[in-house]
């Protein structure tokens, strides 16, 4: 039966006072986790650049004259591009990120997409999060990883979504994942005294069920996990000392919390974060430039913080967006829904550089960048060479790995 993970994404409201009765995540983190050698202490941070990030103004093909012909008002001027080579460079707002690239800490995977692309935000987001472009799936690709990985069931923080609701990527059949917008906002709407909590926990464990129901015990167990995790998290991360100056943006705050979770050794394998919206149909330049600058500065602070605690090689960050944008600008100085786009793999000992083919602006898919790398190849690489698990079962097929990780 599918876990009712969405319930954990709704437990925000008044702050509760932690009672400290169920703190065990630190001890669990010291227990070797299943997986290939070297994967035990690793964490994946997945950043959703939601809304459809325009790849061509992010990783700019400044060496291609057609780029400037098709985007007379939107194209990034050649002198403003943070050039990587004579062909491509980064958006001028990404100076901090370019410095990380120059140090070999960033891999840029170009032309990522999937067959028969869907231009709907909702369906394309679902495809990326479930890794199922050819069918409808009720679990996410990382949710299936959790179900197969054999992680400690009693650990309430095997995965964490830093968001208001649980993203579909983390939907699973057997693993509860909390959705935590911020530490001060993650709590039960209705607080309970110690006696009431104890009675509820006993009910959740099947000791005192008020009546027979095939679902009640399951729902009570999930709600009990939400209660206990909201009480434990502030205590578990309280000793962490941030060693970077994060920008005062939503993404900066989310990544600061992610660093606290990683540095507190809770046994967390996946942290989900989102940033956007990149749905830039109108006046794209100002919006996207600002969002990319925010992304650049927040990521730089995140890895500075991780590095200060010796955690930068433990954390691989992967970005994704539901699609890129059309090659040609529209009449509103924006771009409409497209197809393939680049993504970033950061830190974690990546072999930095450019991967995949440059976008061919002369050979398009109905005015869109054609995909040359299936996004499931990226996922397979992460699953097998970072998280240390076979990918075929999670992805329902075998996909070529990219040589970006050792």
- Residue 354 and residue 88 in contact, taking contact as beta carbons nearer than 8 Å: yes
**What does the pLDDT read at residue 217?**
52
- Residue 282 and residue 333 in contact, taking contact as beta carbons nearer than 8 Å: yes
Does residue 203 have a pLDDT over 90? no
pLDDT, average across residues 289-302: 98
- Phi and psi based region of residue 356 (left: phi greater than 0; alpha: psi -120 to 50; beta: remaining): left
Does residue 199 have a pLDDT over 90? no
Name the more confident of 393 and 206: 393
- The token pair at 299 is 């990521």
Q: Which domains does the chain have, with CATH numbers?
A: 5-395 (3.40.720)
Read off the pLDDT band of 182 (50, 70, 90): confident
Does residue 213 have a pLDDT over 70? no
**What does the pLDDT read at residue 12?**
32
> What DSSP assignment string belongs to 259-306?
HHHHHTT----EEEEEE-----SSSHHHHHHHHHHHHHHHHHHHHHHH
Which of these ranges, 43-52, 91-100, 209-218, 308-317, has the smallest mean pLDDT? 209-218
Name the more confident of 196 and 252: 252
**What does the pLDDT read at residue 288?**
98
Does residue 39 have a pLDDT over 70? no
Encode pLDDT of 247-266 as tens digits.
999 999 999 999 999 999 99
Burial 337-373 (b: 16+ CB within 10 A, else e): bbbbbbbbbbbbbbebebbbebbebeebeeebbbbbb
Encode pLDDT of 375-399 as tens digits.
999 999 999 999 999 999 999 999 9
- Residue 378 and residue 108 in contact, taking contact as beta carbons nearer than 8 Å: no
> What DSSP assignment string belongs to 127-192?
HHHHT-TTS--SS-HHHHHHHHHT--TT-TTSEEE-SSS--GGG--SS----B-S-GGGBS-SS--
CA dihedral 193, 196, 201, 203 (to 10 degrees): -170
Using a 10 angstrom Cβ sphere, with 0-12 exposed, 13-18 middle and 19 or more buried, the burial of residue 277 is: middle
Which of these ranges, 72-81, 106-115, 215-224, 311-320, has the smallest mean pLDDT? 215-224
**What does the pLDDT read at residue 201?**
58
Read off the pLDDT band of 57 (50, 70, 90): very high
Mean of all residue pLDDT scores within the chain: 86
What percentage of the chain exceeds 90 in pLDDT? Answer: 73
Contacts for 308 with CB less than 8 Å, ≥ 6 apart: 243, 244
Read off the pLDDT band of 176 (50, 70, 90): confident
- Residue 83 and residue 62 in contact, taking contact as beta carbons nearer than 8 Å: yes
Does residue 13 have a pLDDT over 80? no
CA atoms within 13 A on the CB side of 332: 9
Does residue 17 have a pLDDT over 50? no
Does residue 24 have a pLDDT over 50? no
Which of these ranges, 6-10, 144-148, 352-356, has the smallest mean pLDDT? 6-10
**What does the pLDDT read at residue 32?**
41
- The token pair at 286 is 């100002």
pLDDT, average across residues 205-225: 54
Using a 10 angstrom Cβ sphere, with 0-12 exposed, 13-18 middle and 19 or more buried, the burial of residue 381 is: buried
**What does the pLDDT read at residue 234?**
81
Does residue 332 have a pLDDT over 80? yes
Decide the pairing of beta strands 315-320 and 341-347. Answer: antiparallel
Query: Would you give the DSSP letter of residue 83?
Result: E
Which of these ranges, 4-8, 20-24, 102-106, has the smallest mean pLDDT? 20-24
Name the more confident of 336 and 207: 336
pLDDT, average across residues 314-327: 98
Does residue 11 have a pLDDT over 50? no
Read off the pLDDT band of 81 (50, 70, 90): very high
């Amino acid at each position: 039966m599918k876990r009712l993970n969405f319930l954990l994404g709704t437990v925000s409201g008044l702050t509760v006072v932690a009672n400290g009765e169920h703190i065990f995540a630190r001890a669990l983190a010291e227990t070797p986790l299943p997986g290939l050698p070297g994967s035990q202490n690793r964490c994946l941070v997945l950043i959703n650049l939601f809304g459809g990030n325009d790849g061509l103004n992010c990783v700019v093909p400044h060496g291609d004259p057609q780029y400037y012909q098709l985007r007379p008002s939107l194209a990034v001027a050649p002198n403003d591009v943070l050039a990587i080579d004579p062909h491509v460079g980064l958006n001028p707002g990404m100076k901090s990120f370019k410095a990380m690239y120059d140090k070999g800490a960033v891999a840029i995977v170009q032309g990522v997409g999937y067959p028969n692309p869907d231009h709907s935000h909702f369906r394309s987001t679902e495809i990326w999060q479930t890794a199922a472009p050819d069918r409808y799936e009720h679990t996410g690709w990382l949710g299936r990883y959790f179900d197969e990985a054999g992680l400690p069931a009693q650990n309430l923080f095997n995965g964490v979504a830093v968001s208001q609701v649980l993203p579909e990527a983390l939907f699973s059949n057997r693993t509860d994942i909390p959705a935590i917008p911020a530490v001060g906002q993650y709590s039960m709407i209705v607080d309970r005294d110690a006696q009431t909590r104890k009675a509820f926990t006993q009910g959740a464990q099947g000791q005192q069920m008020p009546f027979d129901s095939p679902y009640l015990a399951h729902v009570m167990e999930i709600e009990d996990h939400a209660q206990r995790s909201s009480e434990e998290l502030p205590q578990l991360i309280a000793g962490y000392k941030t060693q970077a100056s994060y920008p005062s943006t939503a993404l900066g705050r989310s990544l600061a919390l992610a660093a606290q979770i990683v540095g507190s050794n809770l046994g967390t394998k996946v942290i989900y974060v989102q940033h956007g919206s990149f749905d830039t149909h109108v006046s794209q330049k100002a919006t996207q430039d600002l969002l990319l600058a925010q992304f650049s500065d927040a990521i730089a602070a995140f890895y500075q913080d991780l590095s200060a605690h010796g955690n930068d090689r433990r954390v691989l960050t992967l970005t994704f967006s539901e699609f890129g944008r059309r090659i040609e600008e529209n009449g509103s100085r924006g771009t409409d829904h497209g197809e393939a786009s680049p993504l970033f793999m950061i830190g974690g000992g990546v072999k930095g550089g450019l991967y995949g083919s440059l976008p061919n602006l002369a050979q398009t898919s109905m005015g869109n960048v054609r995909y040359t790398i299936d996004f499931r190849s990226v996922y397979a690489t992460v699953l097998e060479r970072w998280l240390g698990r076979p990918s075929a079962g999670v992805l329902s097929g075998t996909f070529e790995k990219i040589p970006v990780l050792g």
